[in-house]
Amino acid sequence: MKQSFAIIGLGRFGASVCTTLVETGQEVLAIDRDEDRVNEYMDIATHAVVANAEDEMALRSLGLRNFDHVIIAIGEDIQASILVTLMAKEMGVKRVTAKAQNLYHAKVLEKVGADHVVHPERDMGERVAHHLISKNILDYLELSEEYSIAEIRIENHKFVDRTLLELNLRQRFGLNVVAIKREGVKLIVSPSADEMVRLNDTLFVIGETVDVERFDEIMN
Ligand code: ATP
């Protein structure tokens, strides 16, 4: 279903979110106080406007509260990012995603009501690091402080040509396999216990981060 998004701040992060949303057919209002940035996105976003988001009247006249989702992608000006997040929630925006510069910034954004806080540099750094230190982990996403989801390639012959039931990852590692990616086959979502794991399959596993790491170590 088509949703409406407003993005405040067209730095690298905001611009990338904007372009991707438009490519997937969503309606996007792009807002930035910098006229050059707005001109750059005039033909990409559904609408692009020059406005200072710290000006509450400006946000109200843009009808910010009517958007399904507002993304606050202001980076360096932490004070502005916090204030705009607070105003968006006070106006009644249902879903506000805000970009944090650091841990303290993230905490404050959560306190003032952001529904989702992203920390792109840190998150991407973690994902790249996991990919670098393990030849099996293709991608990795921390879901919370304790839980992760990881894409793990199966190259260890001990895990090949055996069913999920035989591998028993839930009992042995506390991991659930949510999907299997296999070359030339449609993604196998929620595989059944009798699904056979093949060489070079990619398993999407979810579980405690320590267990994901333990599983990865055993496969190395
Ligand atoms: P990125 O890492 O995504 O490139 P950044 O973290 O360096 O961005 P900034 O460049 O500080 O973040 O801000 C992103 C954009 O937000 C800029 O284009 C800036 O003009 C815009 N911006 C900052 N404050 C406001 C504001 N109060 N109202 C509207 N736009 C703003």
Residue nearest to ligand 1 atom 22, measured at CA: 9
Mark which of 90, 118, 146 sits at the end of a domain: 118
On whether both 9 and 106 belong to a single domain, the answer is yes
Question: Which residues, judged by CB distance below 6 Å to any ligand atom, belong to the binding site of ligand 1?
Answer: 8-14, 31-34, 37, 52-54, 73-77, 80
Beta strands at 188-189 and 176-181: parallel, antiparallel or unpaired: antiparallel
Residue nearest to ligand 1 atom 6, measured at CA: 75
> 71 is in which domain, residue-wise?
4-118
- Average pLDDT of the residues in 126-132: 81
**How confident is the prediction for the chain on average, in pLDDT?**
93
Domain CATH for 130: 3.30.70.1450
Number of folded domains that form the chain: 2
Distance CA 175, CA 110 (A): 29
Phi, psi at residue 181, to the nearest 5°?
Answer: -105, 125
On whether both 109 and 135 belong to a single domain, the answer is no
Which atom of ligand 1 approaches the CA of 99 most closely?
6
On whether both 30 and 106 belong to a single domain, the answer is yes
Q: Which of 150, 180, 183 is nearest to 163 (CA)?
A: 180
3-state secondary structure at position 141: strand
On whether both 158 and 197 belong to a single domain, the answer is yes
On whether both 57 and 137 belong to a single domain, the answer is no
- State in Å: Cα 2 to ligand 1 middle: 26
3-state secondary structure at position 22: helix
Confidence (pTM): 0.75
- State in Å: Cα 122 to ligand 1 middle: 18
- State in Å: Cα 76 to ligand 1 middle: 7
Structure confidence at residue 3 (pLDDT) = 87
Structure confidence at residue 38 (pLDDT) = 97
Dump pLDDT digits (tens) for 2-45. 889 999 999 999 999 999 999 999 999 999 999 999 999 999 99
On whether both 44 and 92 belong to a single domain, the answer is yes
Beta strands at 116-118 and 95-99: parallel, antiparallel or unpaired: parallel
On whether both 99 and 128 belong to a single domain, the answer is no
On whether both 104 and 69 belong to a single domain, the answer is yes
Distance CA 41, CA 110 (A): 29
Distance CA 19, CA 34 (A): 18
pLDDT for residue 144 is more than 90: no
Alpha-helical regions (H) of 92-208: 103-111, 120-133, 164-167, 169-173
- State in Å: Cα 25 to ligand 1 middle: 24
Sequence-distant (6+) residues with CB within 8 A of 195 are: 163, 164, 180, 188
On whether both 65 and 145 belong to a single domain, the answer is no
On whether both 11 and 112 belong to a single domain, the answer is yes
pLDDT for residue 136 is more than 90: no
Q: Would you say 96 and 65 are in contact if contact means Cβ atoms under 8 Å apart?
A: no
Residue nearest to ligand 1 atom 9, measured at CA: 75
